[in-house]
Amino acid sequence: MEHTDNINIVDFKPLITPEQLKNQIPLEDYCAQTVVRGRHAIEDILNHKDSRKLVIVGPCSLYDYDSTMDYAERLKKLQYKVLDKIQIVMRAYFEKPRTTLGWKGMLYDPYMDDSGDIEEGIRLARKILAGITKMGIPAGTEILDPIVPQFITDLVSWAAIGARTTESQIHRQMASGLSMPIGFKNATDGNLQIAIDAIKSARGKHSFMGIDCNGKVIIAETRGNKYGHLVMRGGNNGPNFTSEYVAFAEVLLKKAKAEIGIIIDCSHSNSYKDHRKQRDALLNVAQQIKEGNKSIAGVMLESFINEGSQPVDKLEKLKYGVSVTDACIGWEETEELVTKFAQAV
């Protein structure tokens, strides 16, 4: 008989189940408190019940445990300084969507050598999230693979659906069942309506296929996620963080009956993919808030210990605390900008 299936599959490898991983790296009580407290704070800020603003800040993509914990310690100290004005969420991204090929993130290739040790990548991601939340810092991540949430999202307070996947029905269904607020980014061409449609879709009930904590294939039935919100990240024609774009977004959200807080991503197209221009975006947003804007709930920044970026290489060859994907601002500028944003609030 002719073979008709799995022709391009080289091998099937067993993977640890979510339950087994959670037994190895359990959700400790204090971590759970951090996660829940962070989710409630984010929800209240998005719904304008909390007058503070969000700052979702951290490396473009994580790749190293020690430098990540070092950065988290710095954020913890900064959070104490601005707690009455700002809720900090640490950006902890483990999956990197690629336009064509390239390093897909720690979760898929933790050793950066194309070995594709996904099980070790998932284990390291969970270990990092446990470490961040144990410091009392809520964590945020982008969800790309719909199987991944069962392994890590009990440690996540905020999640993003990226510009390339916001239009995906699979990701909208998944978002409807996730337990934390979900930020939908506008499309790469700048289209806001796609993200607003995603917010509406994720608020509805869905049934879809997935896995449970024991790795069994199941049908998930969701009640809908009422904390989906818009993340404006610019588009092919340039930035969309200025007041006229924000006003346009407010109109679209009102028409969709989804009047919930907006997040401005100061990186990506809002900085022309130049990390040094994140400053311009943040200061402009801060001025809008200072002048009375109520719809902006917070900002996102790509930041690490040291400024810039470096090519992907073997771990032992990498410079400490320097991004391996998009270039980031350094810690001193991060502290300065978060402080200025807090003053504007």
Residue 303 lies in a domain: yes
190 located within any domain? yes
Other C-beta atoms closer than 10 Å to the C-beta of 260 total: 18
Instruction: Give mean pLDDT, residues 167-183.
Output: 97
The Cα–Cα gap between 256 and 203 comes to 12
> Which CATH number characterizes residue 23's domain?
3.20.20.70
Asked if residue 125 belongs to a domain, the reply is: yes
Tell me: the pLDDT tens digits for 192-245?
Answer: 999 999 999 999 999 999 999 999 999 999 999 999 999 999 999 899 999 999
Assess if residue 6 is contained within a domain: no
Instruction: Please count the other Cβ atoms lying within 10 Å of the Cβ belonging to residue 218.
Output: 13
pTM recorded for the entire structure: 0.96
Q: Domain for residue 327, yes or no? A: yes
The answer to whether position 2 is within a domain reads: no
DSSP class of 275? G
251, containing H or E segment: helix 243-255
Residue 12 lies inside a defined structural domain of this protein: no
Q: Is residue 101 predicted with pLDDT exceeding 80?
A: no
Q: Rounded mean pLDDT of 18-44? A: 98
Structural domain boundaries enclosing 293: 18-344
Domain total of the chain: 1
3-state DSSP call for residue 331?
helix
CB 176 within 8 A of CB 182: no
3-state secondary structure of 171: helix
- Is 9 inside any structural domain? no
Residue 116 has pLDDT above 90, yes or no: no
